[in-house]
Amino acid sequence: MATTIEKAGKTRRRALAKQKSELHDSSSIEQCVTINRGPQELYQFWRNFENLPRFMEHLTSVRCLDERRSHWVVKAPLGKQVEWEAEIINDEPGQLIAWQSLPGADVVNAGTVRFEPAPEGRGTLVRVLIKYDPPGGMLGAATVRLSDEHPQRQVREDLERFKQLMEAGETESVEGES
């Protein structure tokens, strides 16, 4: 007879496998920026997820629940808000952070951020790859692409603000900040 813990583990594994299969037809975002700082410094700043709203315009908050899990609140189109919990699935200090949303997420998502030394010692390449299922399915994705809220542009602009913050110590004011 399986124990309660074994059953919970099997249930969680099935839910995560289902979630991964749900991402099969997802949208993808891939962006890269070179920042004149070392990989370890950039990794450490990013790995403290509560820093992310400082440069991610649509990110309202991130609350760390433990070393691997966090709760995310994001501004969505039409004045909406979406939330999810995410879990780190791969963490290589100074090099890589990979995550996936947990079952029950408003937006199913997964991704990686890589910190790679740039050629000739010219800083660090920060590469972001995000896969997500847009709310509203294909119709929702098409609507967002036609609006000012295109995720590809948002991530590119967020990375530019990250570059400003890490190189100059500040970013241009994000809408709503004083």
- CA–CA separation, 5 and 98 (whole Å): 26
CA nearest to 86, candidates 59, 115, 119, 108: 108
48-103 pLDDT, tens digit per residue, is 999 999 999 999 999 999 999 999 999 987 788 999 999 999 999 999 999 999 99
**In the chain, pLDDT over 90 holds for what percent of residues?**
63
CB-based contact 19:103 (threshold 8 Å): yes
CB-based contact 124:17 (threshold 8 Å): no
Q: Which pLDDT score, from 0 to 100, does residue 173 have?
A: 54
Q: Which pLDDT score, from 0 to 100, does residue 42 have?
A: 98
Average of per-residue pLDDT values in the chain:
83
CB-based contact 55:172 (threshold 8 Å): no
- Global pTM? 0.77
